[in-house]
Amino acid sequence: MTFDEFLEKLDKNNHYYGDIVRSFQRDLERKWVVIEKKGQDLVEVVQRCKDAQRFPVVDKKLGLVFGCDSHAVPRQQLFRYHYYAGGKERPYVDADESADRYISEGHGWFISRMRPRIVVAGIKYRPDQFDKDVFISYQVEQQDLTRDEKLAIIRGERRLR
């Protein structure tokens, strides 16, 4: 995805628009982040990010996947973008709280470099079908099954134990 395509996804009237644009533009130029669209190939996009050592932050509202060196700052930036969509007069939220609230308020989910086999999502997050495919593939990965058994579960031909 190009930077211009990313900009098209954003609301220019959002109070935090300028900040998120500057932050991601800098990170893209430094190759600290890659941005891809979230779609039916989400399992492959997540795996591609992980293979490139860019661990994904998946944003539900924007429909984007951010492959990152570190997930904390993108979560902070994305939370503030969503938070300030409610108006610039909202109370200040510090960086650490922003990163945590991004997950706890259900804006998206991520996979950490420290725990690459675990999807981190908040209780309020409501996964769509693309998310469910990733979540199922991660559950299946944890099972002691043959390759064919895992594929049958992913295809919906068999249930998880």
> Is the predicted pLDDT of residue 155 greater than 70, yes or no?
no
Residue 90 domain-assigned?
A: yes
- As for how many domains the chain has, the answer is 1
Residue 45 domain-assigned?
A: yes
Residue 81 domain-assigned?
A: yes
**Structural domain that includes position 18:** 3-122
For residue 24, give every residue at least 6 positions away whose Cβ sits within 8 Å of its Cβ, in sequence order, or none. 3, 6, 33, 35, 74, 77
How confident is the model over 43-94, as pLDDT tens digits? 999 999 999 999 999 999 999 999 999 899 999 999 999 998 877 788 889 9
Residue 160 domain-assigned?
A: no
More confident residue, 103 or 86: 103
Tokens of 160: 């998880």
Residue 152 domain-assigned?
A: no
Give the residue among 47, 78, 83, 77 at the shortest CA–CA distance from 63: 78
Rounded Cα distance between 131 and 110, Å, is 11
